[in-house]
Amino acid sequence: MDITSLGYRTDLLLLELSGSTFRDTGEYVVVRTPANPGFWWGNFLLYRTPFAPDDAKIRLDDFRREFPEAKHVAIGIDSVDGEIGAEDEVTAAGLEIDRSVVMTADRVVPPQRPNGEATYRFLAGDDDWEQLYHQSLATADMEVDAAYEDFTRRKLVAKRELVEAGHGKWFGAFDGARLQSSLGLMFDGKGLARFQNVQTSPEDRGRGLASTLVHHASTYGLTEGGARTLVMVADPDYLAIRIYRSVGFNDSETQLQFTLPPA
């Protein structure tokens, strides 16, 4: 299956390692994650071309035919330039447009103000992973309800299984035994390593933990991890993107995602 976008290529790699399935129709790829049906970006359609006139309705119909039980709609375009096509029709159909920056690095530099107080290590043991679950809820950018808690718990299980199967590492910055900041770094075995879920507990922000942890994990990835290229996908409007640029990441592609949340 030929995927052009580095962002989606590494997305699908991680999904496949976690048990997701793919079906290539030619026009689009159907991505399914049976173990977590509430995971929007584990259950979506990835199209190979931008939206042509009238495609918004056609693609919504495609999604509802492929995922008749889904409450959400999630559609991607396998491109690198951020070209949407018939954008007016897309927004008129109610689809929310998310443009993310795919960033890459083959070397990194230390942050200007590193945090030397925390301990930086791999997550190990049930308590560390349980803290990661609660940190993920605390840093969520949406309402945390029972459905979101279930989604987060299922995602946590998948993350831990990937690490325990040897596909990557999960890193944490700790104050004693308390998790302050965390991220994942997963490897394709062919020279690529993809960052996942960089997050810092609300009470620990503004202390240089995330930048120090990104540099720590990047250094591991490019040395012991055997990666030649590190991949990070970031929100262009979120302040964290400055952190990644400051340690050596460069903007490489634009990744497009389109969603229609549950009514």
DSSP code string of 145-206: -HHHHHHHHHHHHHHHHHHHTTSEEEEEEEETTEEEEEEEEEE-SSSEEEEEEEEE-GGGTT
Tokens coding 194: 């993809």
Give residue 11's pLDDT.
Answer: 95
| Separation between Cα atoms, residue 40 and residue 224, nearest integer Å | 33
**Structural domains of the chain sorted by starting position, each given as residue range(s) with its CATH number in brackets:** 6-100 (no CATH), 119-247 (3.40.630.30)
Is residue 143 very low, low, confident or very high in pLDDT (cuts 50, 70, 90)? confident
Residue 40 and residue 243: Cα distance in Å, rounded? Answer: 27
- Looking at every residue in the chain, the average pLDDT score rounds to 95
Single-letter residue type at 125: G
- Is pLDDT above 80 for 259? yes
Distance from chain centroid for Cα 235: 10
pLDDT value of position 141: 83
Confidence (pLDDT) at 139 = 93
> What was the pLDDT predicted at 240?
84
